[in-house]
Amino acid sequence: MTNSIKVKTREHAYRIHIAGGLLQKSGEMLRKLFSPQTHIGLMASKTVEKYYRGPVQDSLEKAGFTVSFFRMPTGEENKNMETVSSLYDALIAKGFDRSCLILTLGGGLVGDTGGFTAATLYRGIPYVQMPTTLLSQTDSAVGGKTGVNHPEGKNLIGAFYQPEAVLIDPAVLHTLEMRERVSGYAEILKYGFIRDREFLDRCIADRQKILELRDMDYLGGVIRRSLEIKAAIVAEDEKEENIRMLLNFGHTVGHALEQSSGYGTFRHGEAVLAGMYAALFLSMESGSLDRRTARHYMDGLTSVPLGVSPGEIDTAAVYPALSRDKKRRGKRLKFVLLDEIGKASVAEDLPGDLIRESISRTQKAFCREKGQ
C-alpha cells in the first residue's frame, strides 16, 4: 500500500507517494499521470545508477515509456551551470520536447540540478522526483526549490518549480552511507524543533532505530510526518516570503560553517545539526526558551555522531561568512529561534557578540563530545 500526501501551492497540486518497493512500480505509478508516448529522461549519479537504474528503467519500459539515461556528476562543485548546460545539449540532441518528462533519481544534488534543468528547458517541462537519500526524501524533493551554485555562493541560481509527483522508496536507504543518513536525520529533527515536540522527542529517542533502518514501516512514518510539516508550510508560503523561513532553523550558522570550511567538509545536515545547537543557545540567551529545556536538547544534539567536528573549523572564519551572506542578500541577518520547543519565530538584528559566542559555544560543545 502506498502512503500519500497532497502538496498544494497556489498554482499547482501534486502527490508524494511513500512505500517500500516503489522503485519497481515507478512505471505503473507514472502511467497514471503520463501517456506511454512520453519520452523520459532518467537522471542519476554513477553510484545510484549502479544500484537502481535497472529496476527503474525496466519498470518504465514495461509500462510502455521510452527512456533515455543521463549520468549526473557528483559533488557540490559540479552543481553548477556547466552541468545544466551539458544537460540542455544532451536533451536537445536526443529530441526532447515539451511533451517529455525528466525523472530525477538521486539525492538533493541530482534533484536540484535536474529540477532546474526541467524548470528552464523550453520554459519548463514536467519533472518527477525519486529521492534516494534520507535528506532528499524528507526535505529537498518536496517544495519546488530547484537550482545550482554560483562561485559566489550556494544555490544562488534557481527557480521555484514544483514537480508533478514525488515517489519515495525508503528501501533504497539500505545502500546509503551512515554519514548521509545522519545528514537527513538532522533535517528530520528540524521539523520537530519548529513544529512538533512529540515527534522530536520520539525521533531523538529512536535515533538508532531510524539510522540503522531497523523498522521500515516506522521509518516510512517518520518520512511522512516530516513531509506533512514541510508540505503544510510550503502550501502557505511557496516563495519564502514569511513562514517558509522557519524551515531555515539551524541553517544560518549551518551555511556559514559549510562555507567557511569549504564545500564537501560537512554534509549539509551535519552543518545544520551544529547550526541548530547555535540556534538553541541564541533562543535561550536572547529569546524566551527556558534554559533547562534548551540545555536538554543541546545535549541531545551533541550526542549525534558527526563525520567532522565543527570544532575543527577556524572560529574566526565562521562569523565573517555569516556577514558576507547578509551583505550579498542585501538583507538583515535573520535567525530562526524557538519560543518553545515546537514553536519557532524569526529574529533580526541579534547582537554580533552574542552570535559570535553562539558559534564558539557550538564548536566547543561538539569538541568536548569528541573527547578533544
Binding site for ligand NAD (CB under 6 A): 45, 47-48, 51, 74, 76, 79, 106-110, 112, 132-133, 135-136, 139-140, 143, 145, 154-155, 172, 175-176, 180, 183, 268
Query: Least distance (Å) from ligand NAD to the CB of residue 43?
Result: 12
**Greatest CA separation for the chain:** 62
Residue 147: burial class (beta carbons within 10 Å; 0-12, 13-18, 19+): buried
Closest approach of ligand NAD to the CB of residue 49, in Å: 9
Nearer to ligand NAD, 268 or 284 (CB): 268
Spell out the residues 6+ positions from residue 272 whose beta carbon is closer than 8 angstroms to its own.
Answer: 186, 187, 190, 250, 251, 254
Write out the DSSP string of 310-366.
Answer: GGGS-HHHHHHHHHHHHHHHTS--EEEEEEETTEEEEEE---HHHHHHHHHHHHHHH
Three-state DSSP class for residue 61: helix
CB nearer to ligand NAD: give 219 or 284.
219
Q: Are 253 and 322 in contact (CB under 8 A)?
A: yes
Residue with smaller CB distance to ligand NAD, 284 or 308: 308
Nearer to ligand NAD, 111 or 126 (CB): 111
Nearer to ligand NAD, 26 or 38 (CB): 26
CA dihedral 336, 341, 343, 348 (to 10 degrees): -20
Residue 20 burial by Cβ neighbours in a 10 Å radius (0-12, 13-18, 19+) = middle
Minimum separation from the CB atom of position 154 to ligand NAD (A): 6
- Taking the complex as a whole, the smallest distance from the CB of residue 285 to ligand NAD amounts, in Å, to 27
Pick 155 or 293: Cβ nearer ligand NAD? 155
Nearer to ligand NAD (CB atom), residue 214 or residue 368: 214
Shortest approach of ligand NAD to residue 199 CB, angstroms? 19
Cell for 272?
Answer: 545544520
Contacts of 328 (CB under 8 A, 6+ apart): 152, 153
CB 338 → ligand NAD: shortest distance, Å? 20
In angstroms, give the least distance from the CB of 224 to ligand NAD: 18
